[in-house]
Structure 1
Amino acid sequence: MKKTVMIVDDQMGIRMLLEEVVKAEGHEVMTAENGKDALDKIKQKRPDLMLIDYKLPIMDGPTLLTHLEEQGENIPAIMMSGLVEEATLHTERFEQVKEVFAKPFDVDEAREHINRLLREES
């Protein structure tokens, strides 16, 4: 069954790279440049998994997660950051954050984690 993965990152290169990885696995992709954009798109269609950059313009990753939590949306998420320790510290209270990726990340590792989480959540 096709799953939908939302990629929330302000860097177009990272969005495009992850989009290729996810599509190659046969899943649908939604993208957003910031947390506000992501919230608007989630109202249209709820993804099965989210890959969220920790530091984003307008609305950052933790703020996005807080809004989703307040709306009762428990969408599994992977947080991505160049500041892994800081990101881990600021997202450990969120039940929906299943992992924190260090940026830059290994594409094959990312693919494995995404597939595993999609399997676990179905």
Structure 2
Amino acid sequence: MRCKTLTAAAVVLVMLTAGCSTLEKVVYRPDINQGNYLAPADVAKIHTGMTKQQVAYILGTPMMQDPFGNNTWFYVFRQEPGHASVSQQTLTLTFDSNNVLTNLDNKPKLDGQK
């Protein structure tokens, strides 16, 4: 009788500890996408010498502008799949005083960011 009780307790313990990780995968978690999704073909069209209007026509309105001036635009896209790590893409555009694009910085996706 004691052997059956110990076996049952061991089975319950294994089921409880193993169930936590598998239960996490069973629960539906929607993908969360935030920001400006930029297609690689659209980003390839951007080059220095373009005006703000030309850039906005291709990429749309930026997610953020430099709070201390209006010469830097930030396009940020953050993707959080339901059961995978978070990735983020950041495109930073810098304009001169004549509203002409002078610098383009496309940071790659970073996995595991929170």
Work out whether the TM-score is over 0.5: no
Q: Please state which structure has a larger fraction of its residues in helix.
A: 1
Scaled by the length of structure 1, what TM-score is found?
Answer: 0.25
For the pair shown, the structure with the greater C-alpha radius of gyration is 2
Q: Please state which structure has a larger fraction of its residues in strand.
A: 2
